Amino acid sequence: MNSIILIVDDDPSSRFTLESILEGQDYSLYVAEDGKRALEQAEALKPDLILMDVMMPGMDGFEVCRRIRATPALAEAPILLLTALDDNASRLRGIEAGADDFLTKPIDRQELRARVRTITRLNRYRTLLEQRESLREMAQKLVTAQELERQRISRELHDELGQALTAHLIGLRLLQTDFSSQDSALHERLEPLILDTVDILNRMRQLAQDLRPPAVDTLDLPSALDSFCQEYSRRLHLPILFEAEPLPSVSDVIAITLYRFLQEALTNVARHAQATRVWVDLSTEDQSVSLTVQDNGQGFQENSHMSGIGIQGMRERLTIAGGSLTLRSAPGRGTVITASLPISATEAK
């Protein structure tokens, strides 16, 4: 996409000169003949550069500059002011008004082209960075919203449906006890109903548990991680040494992100590492919390099959949460994978 340049000058011949200098260089050029139109055009176009004469009747270039800076959508738009030669007073006023750069009249063609190119490129890059950052923020919001939704559904399943079903089950069992002495046929007929209810309750519990590990909600983070390590260690007959530093209480997002990271990292160890020992460390430092999983397994050539073991997905999830992932491995030397999350970025609940 071409960079948009807005030329503001009251003098038709200098507008023409500026246009002709910049023509044919992949810019989309627009012109405004006074300050008022310049503001309207700028708001509509969101230009990558505003090239503006200082001396204009009515609203002068300084005033336009100030107003542009006061408009939130345009506050970052680069402004290049055209001033008379060696007019230091104008430059000072221009800086105060928020101009980014100055060019003296009469205009040197080469210099104008070079300056415009530099500014528009920088502006493109800055816009790109901004867009990337806002994308990351959006992704984070989305993931947080998804996590909250999972939690909400899991709670609803457990606290409402599960409890109602439990009460229902107790009622059925009481009913069955009542019938047992009087009517053994009815007692018998209630049995499959009760077993079905238990089955529904179990399936619902499994669903709630998959959506949200109950340990994260009931235990503090170190205990929840430790109990997961224990369970895994026994299931795989693999020693997992868990160590945790005293931890300030962390937000729910951090807790669940680290819990899921541990699940994935240990699954990777089980599938690929052929390790005989695993170390899991939870530590904090300068407003960040890190979880490191190390194994003494076969390791791998970094970059060789990192995508194959879901590292990319893990990295993405951590990046979205504002954190980072580091990985070190070498054939025969095990693997060290660390997830770090800022404690301050996601405010503690």
Partner 1 sequence: MIKLLIAEDHQMVRAGLRALLEKAGDIEVVGEASNGQEAVLLTQKLAPHVLVMDIRMPILNGIQAAERIRGLKLPVNIVLLSMFSDEGLVHQALKSGAKGYVLKSAASEELLWAVRAAHRGETFLSGPVSAIVVDQALNPRMTGTSPDPFDNLSPREKEILQLIAEEHTSSEIGSMLAVSEKTVEKHRAHLMEKLGAKNLAGLVRLAVKYGLVDRETP
Applying CB under 8 A, the residues found at the interface with partner 1 are 158-159, 162-164, 166-167, 169-171, 173-174, 177, 198, 201-202, 205, 208-209, 213-215, 217-219, 223-224, 226-228, 230-231, 233-234, 237-241, 277, 279, 283, 285-286, 292, 294-296, 299, 326, 328, 333-336, 338
**Closer of 171 and 308 to partner 1 (Cβ):** 171
Q: What distance in Å separates the CA atoms of residue 141 and residue 64, rounded to the nearest whole number? A: 37
To partner 1, the closest distance from the beta carbon of 85 in angstroms equals 50
Of residues 96 and 243, the one with the C-beta less far from partner 1: 243
* Residue 37, Ramachandran bin (φ over 0: left; ψ between -120 and 50: alpha; else beta): alpha
Q: Is 54 helix (H, G, I), strand (E, B) or coil?
A: coil
Pick between residue 251 and residue 335 the one whose CB is nearest to partner 1.
335
CB of 139 to partner 1, least distance (A): 24
Cβ neighbour number for residue 141 with a 10 Å cutoff: 11
Q: At what angle do helices 109-155 and 184-211 cross, to 10 degrees?
A: 160
Q: Which is nearer to partner 1, 70 or 170 (CB)?
A: 170
Which of 14, 283 has the CB closer to partner 1? 283
Supply the DSSP symbol for 2: P
Q: Which amino acid is at 70?
A: A
- Interatomic CA distance for residues 40 and 43, integer angstroms: 5
Cα dihedral 124, 126, 130, 135 sign: positive
Query: C-beta of 234: minimal distance to partner 1 in Å?
Result: 5
Residue 121 Cβ vs partner 1, minimum distance, rounded to whole Å: 32
If DSSP codes are grouped into helix, strand and coil, which group holds residue 7? strand
For residues 50 and 224, which CB has a smaller minimum distance to partner 1 in the complex?
A: 224
Nearer to partner 1, 99 or 269 (CB): 269
- Residue 262 CB, nearest approach to partner 1 (Å): 12
CA distance 176 to 51: 87
C-alpha 74/C-alpha 76 separation (Å) is 5
Q: How far is the CB of 270 from partner 1 (least distance, A)?
A: 14
Token pair 């009815």 in the structure block, residue: 186
67 or 212, CB closer to partner 1? 212
* Beta bridge mates, 244: 282
Q: What is the DSSP string of 66-87?
A: HHHHHSGGGTT--EEEEEETT-
Q: Tell me which long-range contacts 109-116 makes (C-beta under 8 A, separation of at least 24).
A: 109/21, 112/18, 112/21, 112/22, 113/21, 113/22, 113/25, 115/80, 116/5, 116/22, 116/27, 116/49, 116/51, 116/80
Choose between 118 and 230: whose C-beta lies nearer to partner 1: 230
Sequence-ordered list of residues with C-beta below 8 angstroms from that of 148, at least 6 positions apart, any chain: none
Q: How far is the CB of 149 from partner 1 (least distance, A)?
A: 19
Residue 162 C-beta: closest distance to partner 1, Å:
5
Amino acid at 264: E
Output the smallest distance, CB 277 to partner 1, in A: 8
